[in-house]
Structure 1
C-alpha cells in the first residue's frame, strides 16, 4: 500500500466528534491591498476629527450658507463696497526706492530699443539697357531717430548715358509711427530736374501692408499750387534663402497740366518692374531684371512732341545695399 499523507491518516483515525475547531484561531481571509495613505503605523483611534482645522482649504467661505442653500458668492446682490486697490505695475518698487527703479527702467528701455538708430537703404541703383539709348536710375532712403520719431531723407531720379540727369528729387520728412507697421510722414520735396525746379509740401504714409507688401503713398503741393500724387508698392518673394524675386510698381498722378515740366493731368506715368536679386550678404545683393515705363495721356503727348518714346522697356542690372 502506498503511504498516505500524514494529515489524511490522522483525519481517518480521529472520530468526527473529536474534530472540534471552535477553539482554533483561523486567520481571516486576505483583503485586497489598499493604497498607501501616508499614515501607516499611526493610531487614528484617538484623533478627534472635530478638532481638525479646515479653515486653510475654505478660508473666506461661509460653509453654513452653502449647506443651508442661502445665496453666496456671485449669487449675492450687488453691493457698494469700495473696490480693492489696484496692484502695482512694478513689483520691485515694493523692495527698492521708486526713483531708483524708474531710472533703471529708463536705462533698460534705452539699451533695448529706445536709443537713436539709423538706416540707409539703396533699393535701386541700376543701369538700364534699352532701345535707342541706355540710362540709369536710383531710389534710396535713409532715416535717423527712434522707434516713434525719425528724420527721413529720400531721393530718386534717372538719366541717360549721354544726356545726363533727366529727373532728380530729394525729400526731407518728419516720420512718426502711427502703428506697429506704418509711419505718417510730412515735410518738403524739391525737384532738381527737370527745370524749372519746384518745391512741394509733402504728406504721406509708408509701411508694411498685410501679406508683406511694402507700400508708400504721398501727396505733393508745389509752391506754384500744383497738386500731385504718387503710389509705390513692392513685394519680396523669397525663392531660396538667398534668391529673392521683387515685383514693383510705381504710379504718378497730377491734378492738372504742368506744361513747364511736361506733365499732364490724371495718371501721368507708370513703371512696372521685376527684379531678381542674389543676396551675397543680407546687406549686399546684386540683381538683374526688366522694367517697363509708360507715360499716359497728356504726358505721353508732351513726350511725342519732344521726340521721345512714351513707352520704353529696359533690361536692368544693379545692386541693392543697406547698412
Structure 2
C-alpha cells in the first residue's frame, strides 16, 4: 500500500514540474512554500545608428517646375499642402513659361520686349494697338543702321542705295498718246480733228507737250495750237502745269502764258483745265473731261465734254465773251491691244453767244453734228 502511494506522489510531482518554471510573481500567484528562481540578468542591446540626414541638392540656375501637390489620403509620397516646405521653393528663379498649367514657349518663339509689354498691358486691362484713341504723334524714325554697312565700304553702299532709289521710283519715262485722231463726216463738210500729248520725266516733274486742232477738207486747218508745259505732281492724282501756248491758227496768231491742271478725279473721271493770258491781254479758259466706261475688257465707251470760254470779245479771232463753244461726244472703241484702239462715235459742237453771231455773219452754221471714226493710241 505504501508502495502504491509513493508511486502516485511521484507521478503528481512529475506532472506539476512544468508549472513550477512559470513566473508567478503577480500577487495571489505565489503558492505557499514555493521559492522563485532568481531572474536572469538583462543583456543591454547595442544602439542602432540612425541614417544620416540627406542634404538638399544644390539649386540649379533654372529651377525645375514644382511638383503638383495632391492630398490623397492614401498617398505615401505626397505631403499635404499645409506640411510643404515653401522656403525650399525659389520663386524668383521660376520662369513664367514653365509654371504648372502654362505651356512653355516653343523654340525660336521666345517673347520679345514688345510682346512682354503688350502681354503685361493686356493682363492689367490697358488698351493697346488699334484700341488706343486716335492721335497725332509723329511716326517713328526709320532705322539708320544697315547690316550691310558692316561688310561693305560707305561709297559702295551709297551708290547701291542711289541705284535702288532710281529703280524704285526715280526713273525717267516718256509717253506719247493721242486720245483723238479722227475723221469727222458732216453734211457736205467733212473734216478731221486731233487731240494728243507727249511727256517726259519722272513721278514728280515732267515736261509736257500738248496739241489739238481741227480742219476741213478743201479748206485747210481752221485751228491749231501747241503747248509746252512744266508739270509738277501736287498729289497722288493731280498735276499742276504752267508754260506757254502758241496758236498757229486762226490768224492772227497768238501766244499765251498758261497755267492749269490735269488729273484723275474721284470715280475715275479724267479732268483738265487751264487759263490762258495772251500777249495782247486776252484771257481765255478751257475745261474738259471724259470717262472710260469699260463694257468688257476690250470694249470701252467714252463720253466726253469740252468747254471753251473767253473773258472778252476777240473779233479778229471770232471769239465772243462768255462761253465760246461746247463739244459733246460719245465714242465707242475696241482695244486690239492696250496701245491701239480704233473707235467710232458721234460728236456735237455748238457755238453760243457772241461767237455764234460771228459764225452766222461769216455764213457758217453755229452747230454741227458729225459721225466720227478714228484711232486712240499711245506708245
* 1:165/1:90 CA distance change after superposition, 3 Å: farther
* 1:56/1:270 CA distance change after superposition, 3 Å: same
Distance in 1 (CA, whole Å) between partners of 2:148 and 2:280 is 59
Q: Which residue of 1 aligns with 2:192?
A: 136
How big is each residue's C-alpha offset from its partner over 1:180-224, in whole Å with a ceiling of 9 and x where there is no partner?
Answer: 111100000000000000000000001111000000000000000
* 1:319/1:87 CA distance change after superposition, 3 Å: closer
How big is each residue's C-alpha offset from its partner over 1:58-95, in whole Å with a ceiling of 9 and x where there is no partner?
Answer: 999xxxxxxxxxxxx99xxxxxxxxxx96624543663
Q: How does 1:171-320 map to 2 (within 5 A)?
A: 171-320=227-376
Contact kept? 2:269, 2:290, Cα under 8 Å? yes
Q: How much has 1:51 moved relative to structure 2? A: 5.7
With CA pairs under 8 Å and 6+ residues apart, which has the higher RCO, 1 or 2?
1
* 1:90/1:143 CA distance change after superposition, 3 Å: farther
Contact kept? 1:229, 1:254, Cα under 8 Å? yes
The TM-score, its normalising length taken from structure 1, stands at 0.75
Contact kept? 1:153, 1:171, Cα under 8 Å? yes
Q: How much has 1:113 moved relative to structure 2? A: 2.7
Instruction: Look up the SS of the partner of 1:103 in the other structure.
Output: helix
Q: Which residue of 2 aligns with 1:50?
A: 90
Distance in 1 (CA, whole Å) between partners of 2:112 and 2:277 is 71
Structure having the higher strand fraction is 1
How big is each residue's C-alpha offset from its partner over 1:158-200, in whole Å with a ceiling of 9 and x where there is no partner?
Answer: 0001101000000000001111111100000000000000000
Q: Which residue of 2 aligns with 1:22?
A: none
How big is each residue's C-alpha offset from its partner over 1:224-276, in whole Å with a ceiling of 9 and x where there is no partner?
Answer: 00001000100000000000000000000000000000000000000010000
Q: Which residue of 2 aligns with 1:127?
A: 183
* 1:310/1:172 CA distance change after superposition, 3 Å: same
Distance in 2 (CA, whole Å) between partners of 1:251 and 1:201 is 19
Q: How does 1:13-162 map to 2 (within 5 A)?
A: 48-50=88-90, 53-54=93-94, 88-89=143-144, 91-92=146-147, 95=150, 97-162=153-218
The TM-score, its normalising length taken from structure 2, stands at 0.64
Q: 305-314 vs 89-98, which deviates more?
A: 89-98
Q: How much has 1:115 moved relative to structure 2? A: 1.2
* 1:87/1:171 CA distance change after superposition, 3 Å: closer
Contact kept? 2:149, 2:157, Cα under 8 Å? no
Q: How much has 1:118 moved relative to structure 2? A: 0.0
* 1:55/1:232 CA distance change after superposition, 3 Å: same
Q: How does 1:2-21 map to 2 (within 5 A)?
A: none
Distance in 2 (CA, whole Å) between partners of 1:211 and 1:175 is 23
Please tell me the root mean square deviation across aligned C-alpha atoms, in Å: 3.0
Q: 110-119 vs 256-265, which deviates more?
A: 110-119
Distance in 1 (CA, whole Å) between partners of 2:142 and 2:211 is 51
Distance in 2 (CA, whole Å) between partners of 1:86 and 1:208 is 32
Distance in 1 (CA, whole Å) between partners of 2:266 and 2:292 is 13
Q: How much has 1:53 moved relative to structure 2? A: 1.9
* 1:296/1:117 CA distance change after superposition, 3 Å: same
Q: Is residue 2:226 matched to residue 1:170?
A: yes
